[in-house]
Structure 1
Amino acid sequence: MKAVICEAPQSLGVDIRSKPERRPDDLLIRIRRVGLCGTDYHIFAGNQPFLAYPRVMGHELAGTVAETDARSAFREGDLVTVNPYLSCGQCIACRKGKPNCCVDIRVLGVHIDGGMTEYLSVPESAVLAVDGLTYDQAAMVEFLSVGAHAVRRGQTQFGDRALIVGAGPIGVGAALFAAMSGAEVTLIDTSPQRLRYARERVGISNTAVVDEGLEAYLVERTDAEFFDIVFDCTGSAKAIEKGFGYVAHGGRYVLVSVVKDTISFADPEFHKREMQLIGSRNATSEDFARVISAIRDGLIPTDALKTHSFPLFDLPSVIPDLIANQGSVLKAIAEL
């Protein structure tokens, strides 16, 4: 079978590998769609902190069950998605019901090879049925779950003024679920093109470009009180540091991004606000279930979220254009 392999930063190719044998308690999945994530772009660029090369990328997956056994809850041909965060089940985080930050976590496409291939053998416990969804929708469940998890981590509630920094897929997902939680959402980004798309196609009404006029806009929008909850979804250390100043007194700051850099902030400003600084990593089965339900109920504009598609094994030739035109790319989905 074919697989897309990132051999090293800036080096992406297609190789032939043996079709995997299904392991005990696994399902063999025939991959049908793979969403491209910011993590994949970071792997290609060489700035993903948890990865060793070479690596088969891909963790936003949709497929059909190709092989199972009689004891399984699944049958051949079932449409599924995959929770790519494979946990140990025994560490302190797992014992506390937080497998998304397992001490020995193995994330498909990051710590171990992922789904940019024709077949993948994964534990049945990581597979979720998504009957009623399309292939494209099934491939969107994971990234939307990351946004939903961040909103849940921040205890977002009705009446909150929520600022989402970064209008990429994770930021847009966080904005959608924050709005579902009753928050008043503002979305900011450096790209006017991304913001226009989020406003006109996705339905996120309040947006602002990060420029010299941003501070005045945020002051006016919040009566100079700033935001009950701020989500950073940028992948930029400078943006994360700037975001501390957008949090209201008594507010929460949720860091969804992961960067290699050391982050610093002014301790007096942090203390006088009694700010809560919250890390949000990956997602849990609870978040996946919420997202699947929201898509089935028509609450997510999935048709608007997908902006690009192409055959998976064309990715080595396609990815430079996707990176060069990030302003027009919300969610690119590779097809098999």
Structure 2
Amino acid sequence: MKYIVCEHPGEFQLKEKAAPIRKENEALLQINKVGICGTDLHAYSGNQAFFTYPRILGHELASVVLEIGKNDKGIKAGDKVVVMPYVSCGTCIACINGKNNCCTNIKVIGVHIDGGMQEQITVPSNILLLANDLSDDQMAIVEPLAIGAHAIRRANILPGETIAVVGCGPIGIGIMKLAQIAGAKVIAIDMNEQRLAYAKEKIGVDYIVKAGEHAASKISTITNGDLCTAVFDASGNKFALEACPDYMSHGGRFVLVGLSKGELTYTHPKIHAKEMTLMCSRNATTEDFEHVISVLDQFPTESFITHSVPFTEMISNFDNWLKPETGVIKATVNFN
């Protein structure tokens, strides 16, 4: 079978190998579609944390079960399934406390272990969710939306809150829409005017603000000086991350969803005066995936997926997906 491997930063190769053989408590899946996310882009560019080469990328998967043993979810051959790509140990302190999304021994498919950019893959049966009512396009975006759902649940967003989301990439857009579904008013912040326009026109955010030195004063004007009770960073950009507390109200929450490899600096008196709650949000849980599946009909999947190519054309197109000027929001790779 064919697969694509990222041998080194900036280098993909299309290769062939034998199809995998399913072990006990595993499922053999046929991959129909793979979503490309920021992790894949960063890995290809050489600036992804927790990453080694060579690696088969791909963890946003639309798949069909080819083989599976007895399982407590009643999944059988022929079923469409969403893959929760976080393989946890089940025995560490995080797993015992129900936080397997940040397991101390976590292995993320497509990051720590080889992912779905191949025609078939075997995965543990317990990380599958039935998705027979979803299209391949919908299945391929459940995982990034679940990232947003987890962040919103971490922040305990309530109806009527005014929140800010920094970064109008796929994760940020997901947070915006899911926050709206939770009843919040949303301010979208980004440097890219095309993506801000998408957030306004397709997601329906309440306000858009261009990032920069005047962003905080604009947010203050929008909120009558109160600022935002929760601020989510979905950019992973150092300068954006360090500016986020300026958008946050006294008593507010700052949620780090995007990942930066470097150090961040904050002025302690400024964040202390606001009694800022700082929290990180990593991956997602079964609860988050199930929530996304239940509200996916409210998400504009068709406009969200802006680029889609056959598997054999991925390598020649990947460089373009690194360029904001191409208008890419979510790219997908098709196997059928």
Query: Scaled by the length of structure 2, what TM-score is found?
Result: 0.97
Paired letter, 1:64: V
Instruction: Give the root-mean-square deviation of aligned CA atoms.
Output: 1.2
Q: Tell me, yes or no, if the aligned pair for 2:320 and 2:326 is still in contact at 8 Å.
A: no
For 1:192, the equivalent position in structure 2 comes to: 193
Alignment of 1:1-336 (within 5 A): 1-69=1-69, 73-295=74-296, 298-325=297-324, 328-336=327-335
Deviation at 1:199, TM superposition (A): 1.6
When structure 1 is superposed on structure 2, of 239-248 and 137-146 the one drifting more is 239-248
Q: Tell me, yes or no, if the aligned pair for 1:80 and 1:130 is still in contact at 8 Å.
A: yes
Q: Tell me, yes or no, if the aligned pair for 2:191 and 2:212 is still in contact at 8 Å.
A: yes
Deviation at 1:86, TM superposition (A): 0.6
Equivalent position SS for 1:187: strand
> Number of matched residues?
334
Paired letter, 1:306: I
Deviation at 1:185, TM superposition (A): 0.5
Q: Tell me, yes or no, if the aligned pair for 2:241 and 2:264 is still in contact at 8 Å.
A: yes
Equivalent position SS for 1:230: strand
CA distance in 2, matches of 1:187, 1:316: 32
Deviation at 1:75, TM superposition (A): 1.7
Deviations along 1:113-153, one digit per CA (max 9) or x if unpaired, are 00010001001100110111101101110000000100001
Q: Tell me, yes or no, if the aligned pair for 1:202 and 1:304 is still in contact at 8 Å.
A: no
CA distance in 2, matches of 1:312, 1:187: 33
CA distance in 2, matches of 1:218, 1:306: 29
Deviation at 1:61, TM superposition (A): 0.4
CA distance in 1, matches of 2:53, 2:221: 47
CA distance in 2, matches of 1:231, 1:313: 36
Paired letter, 1:187: A
Equivalent position SS for 1:318: helix
Equivalent position SS for 1:131: coil
CA distance in 2, matches of 1:97, 1:151: 17
Q: Tell me, yes or no, if the aligned pair for 2:24 and 2:69 is still in contact at 8 Å.
A: no
CA distance in 1, matches of 2:334, 2:155: 34
Q: Tell me, yes or no, if the aligned pair for 1:193 and 1:327 is still in contact at 8 Å.
A: no
CA distance in 1, matches of 2:183, 2:71: 42
Paired letter, 2:283: N
CA distance in 2, matches of 1:327, 1:128: 33
Query: Which 5+ residue runs of structure 1 have no aligned equivalent?
Result: none
When structure 1 is superposed on structure 2, of 317-326 and 239-248 the one drifting more is 317-326
Query: Which 5+ residue runs of structure 2 have no aligned equivalent?
Result: none
Paired letter, 1:149: H
Query: Which aligned segments of 4 or more residues in structure 1 are displaced greater than 4 angstroms?
Result: none
Paired letter, 1:53: Y
Equivalent position SS for 2:264: coil
When structure 1 is superposed on structure 2, of 105-114 and 197-206 the one drifting more is 197-206
Deviation at 1:246, TM superposition (A): 1.2
CA distance in 2, matches of 1:243, 1:74: 43
Deviations along 1:40-91, one digit per CA (max 9) or x if unpaired, are 0000010111011000000000110011235572221111110001100000
Deviation at 1:193, TM superposition (A): 0.6
Paired letter, 1:194: R
Q: Tell me, yes or no, if the aligned pair for 1:202 and 1:305 is still in contact at 8 Å.
A: no
Deviation at 1:312, TM superposition (A): 2.0
CA distance in 1, matches of 2:27, 2:171: 28
Q: Tell me, yes or no, if the aligned pair for 2:26 and 2:69 is still in contact at 8 Å.
A: no
